[in-house]
């Protein structure tokens, strides 16, 4: 949400982006916006990745529990619990 | 046909995924031996399951495909929680492994001096003959990787033939669902300072199993998984 509002702000007030860029020693206000976008995106990809690994773990737990709870006996085997 | 005598002491876990071409031959080997067999079907799309159910084995089924590491861990959990197994062997379903190597894996465990036995094809010259050169390179790189990351000096770090004693298996918790599990197991052996030894085993290369082998790109995937995966 903050990113969105920040982005909208920069669109309507390009001079503020320029002022911030000058402060940081970056050429143009637009460049600053791009750099911020890249940094934000990298963080976002990393957090999505972590979330996917977490979901993977949860899914594995569920599928494994189901498999272990429901063993199937092959032919000629006395019924096992 | 009389029911198969079950040896509760030794359980063999066989993870399987789309192995309709080889699982029958693999399970045939076990018909005249008295090991208890647990097959974990990782949601095969072919008729692997139907073939398995013709044999006196226990079958666990994953409702979605998770990977060989996950299938192995599922097998381990079932065996630890639902059986009285004293020794547990992991065995591949693609026909590369030979049941005659199981006693070789068990012997060091039975002395009580070792917690884990690891099969190595490089300790058996016949296994190395006929091995594609690219495969040899990949396996040797695996050995180097393991040496650097775990200090374990092994000759074969990607061999699915392993033996564990029951107490040891409680330390093993495979979280890498796919092929990085092989490195993860070694990582945990080093981490928990388990007593291990390598034993010579036969690896049979057939056209069928060569097609299913690891590619070099898979090795890169494995490195990626290991980098992000360590959580014990």
d(CA A33, CA B142): 44
Greater model confidence, B109 or A11: B109
Tell me which of A33-37, B82-86, B123-127, B188-192 is least confident: B123-127
End-to-end CA distance of chain B: 47
Asked if A70 lies within 8 A of B60 by C-beta distance, the reply is yes
**Rg from Cα positions in chain B:** 17
Beta strand pairing call for B116-120 and B87-90: unpaired
Per-residue pLDDT tens for B93-137? 999 999 999 999 999 999 999 999 999 998 888 777 778 888 888
CATH of B7-229 among 3.30.420.40, 3.40.50.12780, 3.40.50.300, 3.90.550.10? 3.90.550.10
Beta strand pairing call for B35-41 and B7-16: parallel
Question: Residue B3: what pLDDT?
Answer: 44
Are B70 and B42 contacting, i.e. CB atoms less than 8 angstroms apart?
yes
Per-residue pLDDT tens for B65-86? 999 999 999 999 999 999 999 9
d(CA A24, CA A48): 29
Average pLDDT over chain B, rounded to whole?
A: 89
Assess whether pLDDT exceeds 90 at residue A24: no
Average confidence (pLDDT) over B127-155: 87
Please report which confidence band the pLDDT of residue B212 belongs to, taking 50, 70 and 90 as the band edges. Answer: low
d(CA B45, CA B20): 10
User: Which candidate from A49, A64, A72 shows the least CB-CB separation from B53?
Assistant: A72
The 8-class DSSP code of residue B101 comes to G
Assess whether pLDDT exceeds 60 at residue B34: yes
CA distances from B156 to A35, B83, B139, B199 (A): 46, 30, 7, 10
Greater model confidence, B132 or A54: A54
- Count of CA atoms in the C-beta half-sphere (13 A) of B93: 25
Asked if A64 lies within 8 A of B4 by C-beta distance, the reply is no
Backbone angles phi, psi at B24, to 5 degrees: -60, -50
Question: Residue B220: what pLDDT?
Answer: 75
Question: Residue B91: what pLDDT?
Answer: 97
Q: Crossing angle for the helix pair B216-229 and B133-150, nearest 10 degrees?
A: 20
This model of the complex carries an ipTM of 0.86
Are B4 and B29 contacting, i.e. CB atoms less than 8 angstroms apart?
no
User: Which candidate from B3, B40, B60 shows the least CB-CB separation from A76?
Assistant: B3
* Chain A residues within 8 angstroms (CB to CB) of chain B: 49, 53, 56-57, 59-60, 63-64, 66-68, 70-78, 80-81
- What percentage of residues in chain A have a pLDDT greater than 70? 94
Greater model confidence, B209 or A52: A52
Give burial (CB, 10 Å; 0-12/13-18/19+) of B99. middle
Average confidence (pLDDT) over B202-213: 73
Q: Domain limits of chain B?
A: 7-229
């Amino acid at each position: 949400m903050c990113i969105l509002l920040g982005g909208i702000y920069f669109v309507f007030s390009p001079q503020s982006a320029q002022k911030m860029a000058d402060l940081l020693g970056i050429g143009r206000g637009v460049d600053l916006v791009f750099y911020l976008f890249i940094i934000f995106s990298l963080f976002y990809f990393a957090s999505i990745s972590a979330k996917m690994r977490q979901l993977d773990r949860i899914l594995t737990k569920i599928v494994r529990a189901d498999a272990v709870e429901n063993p199937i006996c092959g032919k000629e085997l006395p019924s096992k619990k | 046909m009389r029911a198969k005598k079950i040896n509760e002491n030794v359980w063999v876990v066989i993870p399987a995924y789309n192995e309709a071409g080889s699982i029958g031959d693999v399970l045939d080997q076990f018909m005249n031996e008295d090991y208890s067999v647990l097959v974990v079907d990782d949601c095969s799309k072919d008729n692997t399951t139907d073939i398995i159910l013709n044999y006196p084995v226990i079958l666990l089924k994953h409702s979605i495909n998770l990977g060989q590491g996950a299938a192995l861990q599922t097998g381990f959990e079932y065996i630890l929680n639902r059986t009285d197994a004293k020794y547990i062997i992991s065995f591949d379903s693609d026909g590369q492994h030979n049941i005659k190597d199981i006693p070789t894996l068990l012997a060091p465990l039975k002395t009580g001096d070792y917690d884990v036995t690891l099969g190595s094809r490089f300790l058996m010259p016949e296994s190395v003959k006929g091995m594609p050169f690219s495969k040899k390179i990949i396996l040797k790189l695996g050995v180097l990787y393991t040496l650097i990351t775990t200090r374990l000096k092994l000759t074969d770090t990607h061999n699915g033939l392993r033996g564990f004693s029951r107490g040891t298996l409680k330390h093993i918790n495979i979280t890498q669902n796919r092929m990085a599990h092989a490195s993860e197991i070694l990582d945990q052996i080093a981490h928990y300072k388990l007593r291990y030894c390598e034993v010579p085993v036969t690896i049979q290369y057939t056209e069928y199993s060569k097609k299913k082998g690891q590619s070099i790109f898979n090795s890169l995937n494995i490195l990626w998984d290991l980098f992000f995966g360590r959580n014990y």
